[in-house]
A and B are shown apart, each in its own frame.
Chain A
Amino acid sequence: MTLHDPEIALKATEQPDATPLVVIDRVSRAYRKGKVAVPVLERHAMTIAAGEMLALVGASGCGKTTLLNLIGGADRPDAGEITVGETRITSLSDGALTDWRGRNVGFIFQFYNLLPALSARANVELPLLIHDLRAAERRARVDNALNLVGLEDRADHRPEEMSGGQQQRVAIARALVTDADLLLCDEPTGDLDQDSATRIMELLSLLNEEFGKTIVVVTHDPNVAAYAARTVRLTRPEAV
């Protein structure tokens, strides 16, 4: 089932299966601070099942966001391999990795990262501009995504004209519009009040349960982590 199925609201729930979607094999990543290498991930290994909703928790600097970026192909590991579906993304060229990311991954950030000059509709449409789609098809997809997050009546508003919760829902619509299987959420409720945070997490749960999206959520908040079927706690490696 896809988001762009016209009978989307009538479809039955798809249950997550145990097939691994993401395989992280002894991945290491360190950052340099002057001459000192600061390891963030050290031979980290884990698997994320297709259709799973996973929470990554841990202290600040333990590598949650780094791991999320590595899974999504926004960063490259110093060592190790990452496979998503059938694709070993660590072996892809820069251009191929960009194309893969555009087709297969939806990103949701703490501060929404919407383009301020664009309306909600244009922000959601943005990832589709690089796909070979007709304008009518793009419009239908954007309408679907905005309907799903309940923002069809705010489509022509710019980010500055919307609340934080609404902006985050636009960001979720943008992540959904390409029908990516994998949604990577970095502190998606970190900038929101409790009510807005609850609505966002219920929306993500819906996407996981109803549409089988594989969702990885980085969070400090136990209440947010509670929405996930599984929680992985990361610890910070020793500095070298």
Chain B
Amino acid sequence: MRLVSLILRNAARSRARVAFTLGSVVVAFLLLGLMLPVLRVFDSRVDFADANRLMVLNKASMMRPLPISYGDRIAELDNVSDVGHFTYFGASYRDPGNEIPAIVTDPAKFPDLVDEVAFRDEGTLSDWQSDPSSIAVGRELADEYGWQEGDLVPLYSSIYTRSDGNPVWTFRVGTIFDGATEDSVTNSVVIPYGFFNTERSRGKDTVGWYAVRIDDANAAEVTGEAIDAVFENSPNETATTTERAFAKSFLNQIGDFKTMIGAALILVFWTLVLITANAQMQSIRERFGDFAVMRILGFRKRRIAGMILSESLLMMFAGGVIGMAVAAVAVAIVAANGEALLALLKLDWRDWAIGAGLMAGTGLVVAAVPATLAARQKITDGLAEAL
């Protein structure tokens, strides 16, 4: 028998309690493993937002359009290096419930204005930019539906009908773009503005919002104020913000989801940890007599405390690794079958590092008090408890 074996046998003294305690730890870290990737995806959406890019929206409502003529006036302002515009198309494919992200923009400016995508095939890029009825499709979306350059794709718009009243728009796939980074989302369709603007039945010569590239991110606020000042008292006043601030405010608008998830995670996690701690402390408390016997046999206080700490860490790491491993599998399944942000979910090394830190920290916290008590108790008191 070795000390490790002694720790294991001691820990398994009450198998039912070990099973329940381990179960609590597994559930706690399963929850952690499921939530951490979700929280990170929220963060990543904000991180991806460019601090050097301003969003110019209609001040009355982000759903109301802005005139196309605003673009040239914005471009004349100081600190503005480029201006592009976007309009939400409201697309779905095959049936109205199968929505896909689709935006309308100027193909000539899109590659330079949006850093998150990469056009690896210059030939098809120029094809898309020169053919007004062609679309650019993200790699994930193309792979999902098996679309290739040259395919004709009918898209249903829930917002815009064509001049003949038909809500179905048929486009040719002009090019397929990739993500600039591994985390970039490529599940969208980009539609040329010219063709769209000519063909639509209403809202001509308007855009959804402007994206403004600025030279100096530190002057973003001043530039935003300057843009809004230009259109002050006009029929379509603007509200300008950085993309990052917009992304944050958008998340805030849906109820500060991240904070709620984070708070729920912390509450549930610590509830489970407290239950575990209670069970662990009770288990150790019941063995004070055994520890007194070990002390009398020559085990030093430090060794006793070390054994209790090891037992607690063992419990936390065993349950924690199982819980996070199950979470990793669950997250991978969700990501493989999910769309949009769900497809980004991944339990990566950062989550494992946080998990390992919490396993170690919790194990130490849980064991600290009983280890100290066991080490400090008088042998004679411990022996009396064993009776």
Contacts and interface: CB of A to CB of B under 8 A. Distances in A.
B3 A129 contact: yes
B300 A99 contact: yes
B9 A107 contact: no
Contacts of B301: 94-95, 98
A107 B296 contact: yes
Find the residue from A72, A98, A121 having the highest chain B CB count within 10 A: A98
Interface in B1-45: 1-3, 5-6, 9-10, 12-13
A75 B13 contact: no
A95 B302 CA distance: 9
Given A99-B300, A111-B387, A117-B10, A75 B293 contact: no
A107 B297 contact: yes
A125 B5 CA distance: 12
Interface residues of B, number: 27
Interface stretch (B59-67, B169-177, B377-385): B377-385
Contacts of B10: 115, 117
Nearest to B384: A65
Q: Say what secondary structure dominates the interface of chain B.
A: helix
Interface of B: 1-3, 5-6, 9-10, 12-13, 289-290, 293-301, 303, 378-380, 383, 386-387
Contacts of A150: none
Given A102-B299, A122-B1, 5 more contacts: A74-B383, A101-B298, A115-B293, A117-B9, A126-B1
B236 to A, nearest CB: 78
A125 B297 CA distance: 11
Contacts of A109: 383
Contacts, number: 73
A125 B296 CA distance: 14
Interface of A: 69, 72, 74-75, 94-95, 98-99, 101-103, 107, 109, 111, 113, 115-118, 121-122, 125-127, 129-130, 174, 178
A126 B6 CA distance: 9
Given A98-B299, A117-B13, A126-B6, A111 B1 contact: no
